[in-house]
Amino acid sequence: MTSAAVLSDLSKWLAATPLSHTIQTTGWIIPALQTIHILCVAVLFSSAILLDLRMWRLFQRDIALADVGQRFLPLIWAIVPILLITGGLLIVGEPRRSLLNSTFYLKMALLAFALALTGFLQWSLSSAPGFWDKDRGRRVAGRLAATVSILAWCGIIFAGRFIAYTQGG
Amino acid sequence: MLWPPDWIAYLEGSELADTIRENDLLFPVIESVHVLAICLVVGSILVVDLRLLGLASVTRPVSRITSSILPLTWCAFAVAVVSGGLMFISNATKYLGNGYFVAKMILIAVAGLNMVVFHAIGAKDMPKWEKSARLPLPARAAGALSILLWIAVVACGRWIGFTMEVR
């Protein structure tokens, strides 16, 4: 069986579950889940952007980078499970919309990358508070990492919105 | 009074509005930019609101938080207004007829009013208390109200997409 066939079968099976039926037939559930999902994205995205802006020295320069990290990084990890649950329920409600949509997989790949980068930033700040200030090379690398992080999170939001426009039949 | 006003009908009939309506890619791109901007507006305002409520950044004076974060909030808000405005003119009459759209505009206005009232009245003696973790009731109330209003703004925004056939 090809993976597309497996995903198609999985979608059919998911769509036939009682939970999926409830989500499909109760009109307010999907917009409510999407609202919670977007609010959580707002918290996570802003946290990540503020940390990235601090790495660029454009935000709260008077606070040590490691302290800004301590303020916002735990928030990112706390929000991820809520995003996975609301996102998971949206998939159960409309499996084909995501599971048979390459934009969804692009979003998940970007998410995995962004989270790995966030984990790396967290590790770097805990290993040495001045990790990104050691020398000129590190400072440039820090700004590069922050820029890549901003682009990855923006890409995730774009991909998320484009899932609605690229769904197949 | 003529409804919708002439200038809105003019914008809706403009070439720009026509392009946004007809182009398959333009609307989703503008919408994505709008979501991105709204996320920054809501997330950055939340940092201020949580400080007002005494739930985060309590070791920093309120004015230090606002001066570091509000420039980002205003930039994002400007992007949200422009991107939202472009979506609006592409189907102005339908948006004006949508209850969730109207509610969203009113809620944003109330959130702005909340901010203005807090600055004008609640924050008058701010230098006296802005360093303490637990702030006076008006400050906490303004923070709590702001959070609730912005949650409602996002909810209305999402519900517009489910109650309006634009394409």
- Ranges of each domain in chain A: 9-166
Q: Which residues of B touch A (CB under 8 A)?
A: 28-29, 31-32, 35-36, 38-40, 42-44, 46-47, 56-57, 68-69, 72, 151, 154-155, 158-159, 161-162
Query: Cβ neighbours of residue A169 under 8 Å, at least 6 residues apart?
Result: A96
Model pLDDT, residue A167:
83
Query: Are B40 and A30 an interchain contact pair (Cβ–Cβ within 8 Å)?
Result: no
Banded pLDDT at B166 (limits 50, 70, 90): low
Contact state of A31 with B155 under an 8 Å Cβ cutoff: yes
CA gyration radius for chain A? 19
Check pLDDT > 60 for residue A64: yes
Contacts of A48 in chain B (CB under 8 A): none
Q: Taking a C-beta distance cutoff of 8 angstroms, is the pair B153, B107 a contact? A: yes
pTM here? 0.94
Angle subtended at Cα B88 by Cα A42 and Cα A87, rounded to the nearest 5 degrees: 30
Measured between CA atoms, how close is B32 to chain A, in angstroms? 5
Contact A47 B43 (CB under 8 A): yes
Q: Compute the C-alpha angle A61/A152/A88, nearest 5°.
A: 120
Report the chain A residue with the minimal C-alpha distance to residue B42: A42
Output the pLDDT for position B124.
Answer: 87
| Residue B127 to chain A, least CA–CA distance (Å) | 20
Task: Provide mean pLDDT across the span B68-86.
Answer: 97
Answer for the pair A99, A10: CB distance below 8 angstroms, yes or no: yes
Percent of chain B with pLDDT over 70: 97
DSSP type of residue A100: T
What integer pLDDT is reported at residue B1 of this predicted model?
Answer: 56
CA–CA–CA angle B145, B148, B149 (5° rounding): 85
d(CA A142, CA A66): 13
**Would you state the pLDDT for residue B164?**
87
3-state secondary structure of A45: helix
CB contact under 8 A, A35 and B154: yes
Measure in Å the smallest separation between the Cα of A147 and chain B Cα atoms.
16
Mean residue pLDDT across chain B: 94
Mutate which of B34, B36, B104 to disrupt the A interface (most A C-beta within 10 Å)?
B36
Q: Does residue A135 come out as left (phi exceeding 0), alpha (psi in the -120 to 50 range) or beta?
A: beta
pLDDT of residue B67: 94
> In the prediction, which pLDDT does B89 show?
96
CA dihedral B79, A160, A105, A27 (to 10 degrees): -170
Which tens digits make up the pLDDT trace of B104-158?
999 999 999 999 999 999 888 999 999 999 999 999 999 999 999 999 999 999 9
Residues of B in contact with A42 (CB under 8 A): 38-40, 42-43, 46, 154
Q: How far is B157 from chain A (nearest CA, A)?
A: 9
- Band of pLDDT at residue A1, cut at 50, 70 and 90: confident
Number of Cβ within a 10 Å radius of residue A1? 7
pLDDT confidence of residue B130:
93
Q: Please indicate if any CB of chain B lies within 8 Å of the CB of A29.
A: no
The pLDDT tens digits of the residues spanning A7-28 come to 999 999 999 999 999 999 998 9
User: If pLDDT is split at 50, 70 and 90, which confidence band does A67 have?
Assistant: very high
Beta-carbon contacts of A25 under 8 Å, excluding residues fewer than 6 positions away, are none
CA of B96, closest CA in chain A: separation in Å? 20
| Candidates A35, A38, A161; nearest CB to B32 | A161
pLDDT, tens only, B20-43: 999 999 999 999 999 999 999 999
- CA-wise closest residue to B20 among B7, B33, B4: B33
A12 against A167, higher pLDDT: A12
d(CA B135, CA B51): 9
Per-residue model confidence (pLDDT) at position B4: 74
Considering chain A, what percentage of its residues have pLDDT values greater than 90?
92
Distance, in Å, from the CA atom of B155 to the CA atom of B147, rounded to the nearest integer, reads 12
Mean pLDDT, chain A, rounded, equals 95
